[in-house]
Structure 1
Amino acid sequence: MRDIKIVIGSAGRRTYLVGWFMAALAELGLPGEVIVTENDVTSPSFGLAHRSVWMPPYADPAYAEQMLELFTAERPDLFVPLNDFEIDLLSRGLGSRLEEYCDHVLVPSRQAQRNLSDKLAMSQSLAAAGVTTPRTWLAAELDELRGSVDDPVSEYVVKHRFGSGSSGLRFATPSQLDSAVAGSLAELPAPDNDPVPDLPPAARVVVQQRVPGDEYGVDGVFSLTSPTPALTGVLARRKLRMRAGETDKAVTVDPAPFVETVTRLGDLIGPRGLVDIDIIRTADGAQHVIDINPRFGGGYPFCHAAGANVPLYILQSLRGAADPALLEYRTALTVAKYQDVRVVGELDNVEKGS
């Protein structure tokens, strides 16, 4: 039997995901390895997998060449990138080139990724598809916003248009909008670390109406092999607390109310593998999609801890058939993240990442 090779890109602090893919290989008794690619050898995930490979930063011109060299040599079965900006770069053509050497590259099409990475485009594309989402304006359009919203007690969400991990996030009443936008503008990334440095600053910050309700993290699990989007499972949890842009504590819930919304999103973006979706559910049950990430998100571990096992499900599907029971989990469980530490190397071995 040929070795199974899984490449996980930019795993960073998500050591648990590396471990779960390694455990899935072991549980299935499959020969193979999990390979982590990282640009920082002091990353917690570097050295944790069966093998770790240093890569230039995704913005470095050498990144594409070295990724192609790795995939040409290794011929992996699956590539699971975890960094939003890396996924955006891969969607611009490199992901398709990697597919010449890898059976399953979990990167969306360029059009889908453009609509996901750009929060203004996402709002427009969702609204056009009939998916409820908060109204969204550019920071440059504050006068238009004030003229189109009559509710004097409305609250707003301010954030970076192309951001990740809640970058530039502010909550504001109408009277606080100007200062909130100014604060978000002050936190825009430097031009050399910005995917859209040529846009004026006021076009790189968006303002959205804040929808009252409970926030849920929802994962859609889609077929790796179907020629059309095929939803195979949904996982859901209600968020209780956030920390640094990620869910820190959540309670698992019945996924059934979210299946229709996730199915419609699948038809819109054509995903493969796992897609992370943030949804506000109002008191009357209406669902407002506020963010979509075509990758394992920071909320998946809550459902994994409750019994779901998407890494094992994905590896089974690579062999042709996966057990649907692997996407089942206990509901009403409160799950919390906590910190851990590990030695990542000795001084002489980590200079390249310092």
Structure 2
Amino acid sequence: MKHLTLLISSAGRRVGLIDCFRQSAASMGVSLEVLACDLEPGLSAACNAADRAFAVPAYGDPAFVDALIDIVREHGVDLVVPTIDPELAPLAAAIDRFSALGARVHVSPSCVIEVARDKLRTAEVLEQAGVPVPWTRPFGNGHLMDGLSGWPAFLKPSAGSASRGIRIVEGPAELPEAVDEPMVLQQFLVGPEFTVNMFIDQGGVLRSAVAHRRLRVRAGEVEKGRTERDPIFRELAEGVARALPEARGVLCFQVILDAATGPRVFEINARFGGGYPLAHHAGAEYARWLLEEVAALPSTAHDDWRAGVLMLRYDAAIFEG
């Protein structure tokens, strides 16, 4: 039986993601050891659910990557899977260090991360590739750039995630005089919102695109969702892949079917999204396909997933003592 060791970084509450990897490994006949790390592993549900857990510095600490390298070296890690946006850039910059130890980091190259982590660049790069996007303008302290199309608008951090710092502004009078980080003003969209999960294989081929409607959202993460199949979502995914030709592995993007302008893609996450377990349950086992690539096994990647699968997430607890 082939054995693989997986490290989940910034594991937090990602118990569902660990479960997906374990289910896929079992169905493949692969023995999988799951390691997890976090700033405070004793307070992380996913670290408690893993086979072994480790404390590491915060992702912004220069020692963060070194700590992961040490875990990889000591425990023979085959695959490192980051889970939050801010750790993607330092890990992408260190890919060669991990590769030298025989470990694959599930992260796209730095050129992809730089676009995905900047909402203004995201809009520019996607628009150049023919992907429909909302108008997006930079906002600086006390002034607006030219070209604003109308009100209301979203004001959001250019590098924000998990709905952090997003607000609706009805007009110039509601704009702050000063901001603490780069911000953008973006077209206010009205309509159903979807996440589209993508899997791009190591050869750069888009193998799967699974859309789910975000029925209820909590802290920027889908709480209730349903898979839906429509050619428009595959077309948009192909456009995102065309705009980011170096992207690899699992990504997801957000799209709103605006009542007035039609679909508009407004955010890309170059990682597993929080709602990935829904795509997995619908038959798109991205976790398995990653393990197959790492283990040099034949790929079973496909786009034949089930529409109409409903996910209703709920709170659960792990008890100690």
Question: What TM-score does the superposition give when structure 2 sets the normalisation length?
Answer: 0.89
- The 5-angstrom pairing of residues 58-137 of structure 1 reads 58-91=59-92, 93-137=93-137
Distance 1:15 1:271 in 2: 26
The residue type equivalent to 1:148 in the other structure is G
Q: Secondary structure at the match of 2:308?
A: coil
Task: Give the one of 266, 269, 277 matched to 1:290.
Answer: 266
In 2, distance between residues paired with 1:150 and 1:205? 17
Query: Who is 2:317 aligned against?
Result: 341
Identity %: 27
Give the Å deviation of 1:333: 3.5
Is the contact made by 1:79 and 1:102 (CA closer than 8 Å) also made in structure 2? no
Measured in 2, the distance between the counterparts of 1:246 and 1:123 equals 21
Runs of 5+ unmatched residues, structure 2: none
Other-structure match for 1:349: none
**Is there any run of 5+ residues in structure 1 with no aligned partner, and where?**
186-200, 347-354
Higher strand share: 2
Match runs of 1:1-354 below 5 Å: 3-41=3-41, 42-91=43-92, 93-140=93-140, 144=144, 148-149=147-148, 151=150, 154-174=151-171, 177-178=174-175, 181=176, 185=179, 201=180, 204-223=182-201, 225-226=202-203, 229-269=204-244, 270-283=246-259, 286-317=262-293, 318-324=295-301, 328-343=304-319, 345-346=320-321
Describe the superposition over 1:304-346 as per-residue Cα deviations: whole angstroms up to 9, x where unpaired: 3334332223323434223245x54332333221111112x45
CA gap of 1:334–1:118, structure 2 versus 1, over 3 A, is same
User: Is the helix fraction higher in 1 or 2?
Assistant: 1
Which SS does the other structure have where 2:210 is aligned?
Answer: strand
1:301 maps to a residue whose letter is P
Question: C-alpha root-mean-square deviation of aligned residues, in Å?
Answer: 2.4
Q: Distance in 2 between matches of 1:110 and 1:306?
A: 31
Q: Which amino acid aligns with 2:39?
A: N
Cα displacement string for residues 166-211 of structure 1 (whole angstroms, at most 9, x for unaligned residues): 1101122226642xx46x94xxxxxxxxxxxxxxx3x512110113
CA contact (8 A) 1:161 1:205 kept: yes
One-letter amino acid of the structure 2 residue matched with residue 34 of structure 1: V
* TM-score normalised over the length of structure 1: 0.82
